[in-house]
Amino acid sequence: MKKEIWNSDSVKEGLFKFFKQYGHYPTATEVDDCDYLPATRTIERRFGGLVAFRKDLHIGSQTDFRFGEHSSKRAFTINTRAHKVEKEVYEYLVKRFSTQFVHREYFFTDDKRTRADFFVFDADKGFCVDIFFTSSLRNVSGCLNSKLSKYQSEYMRHYPVIFLQMNVEITQERLDLLVHHKKRRILNGQTLMSWETFKRFCESKKPLRLSKA
């Protein structure tokens, strides 16, 4: 549980502790997820914001982690992880439904502006899969809101849409609780799933079979 009273020395101690553990100073998201640091809103209110706070403490040459080397490394890490999880999902789907019935980058319209990561043809009417990975439950809501905006059109809801959250440390129970308390509701036919729940969902679906000539 985070402290309620903070001063410059205690926050600085927490930042140094984080650096010793992870080899870098925390981003805003990492600060909010850290038990021994105050929330970023507290730093904003009491110290003028995280960037200003880093400058005031003279911690490193990179004080704004949204830009520069840290941002580049973060983008590389995100892209590498995205490729890895998408590959994992694709290989699973192919094994379950076969290559012919798993389409990557399924476009809903001819202008190719809106796509799902996968469209799977099964013995029913098929389903779409949109994959994402978040480092914490706190970030799931923001990612989900973005996807709900993307999938709000009626023509994009002709098939079931699975929002697949691939951080295995975030359980289905926690995802369900988040959805239950969200002000912005998931539409009919849309479901937020964990990796384990998604695999059970796929096992419940009957694959198509190629007809013999």
Would you mind telling me the total number of residues written for the chain in this entry?
213
Output the pLDDT for position 211.
Answer: 65
Output the pLDDT for position 137.
Answer: 82
| DSSP classification of residue 155 | G
Output the pLDDT for position 150.
Answer: 79
Return phi, psi of residue 87, to 5°. Answer: -65, -40
Shared domain check, 86 and 12: no
Output the pLDDT for position 54.
Answer: 64
In a domain, 2, yes or no: no
Output the pLDDT for position 57.
Answer: 58
Write the DSSP assignment of 92-153 as a string of letters: HHHHHH-GGGEEEEEESSTT---EEEEEE-BSSS-EEEEEE--SSHHHHHHHHHHHHHHT-S
Sequential pLDDT tens for the chain (213 residues): 444 577 777 877 877 777 776 666 777 767 776 778 888 778 777 777 777 656 665 555 444 444 455 445 544 444 566 778 899 999 999 999 999 999 987 666 555 556 788 999 999 989 999 998 888 887 888 788 888 887 877 766 778 999 999 999 999 999 999 999 888 889 889 999 999 999 999 999 999 987 665
In a domain, 120, yes or no: yes
**Structural domain count of the chain:** 2
| DSSP β-bridge partners for residue 190 | 161
Residue 70: both structure tokens together: 């840290």
Domain range enclosing 39: 8-66
Output the pLDDT for position 63.
Answer: 44
Output the pLDDT for position 12.
Answer: 78
In a domain, 1, yes or no: no
Shared domain check, 108 and 48: no
In a domain, 161, yes or no: yes
For the CA atoms of 74, 79, 82, 88, the dihedral, rounded to the nearest 10 degrees, stands at -120
With a threshold of 0.95, does the pTM exceed it?
A: no
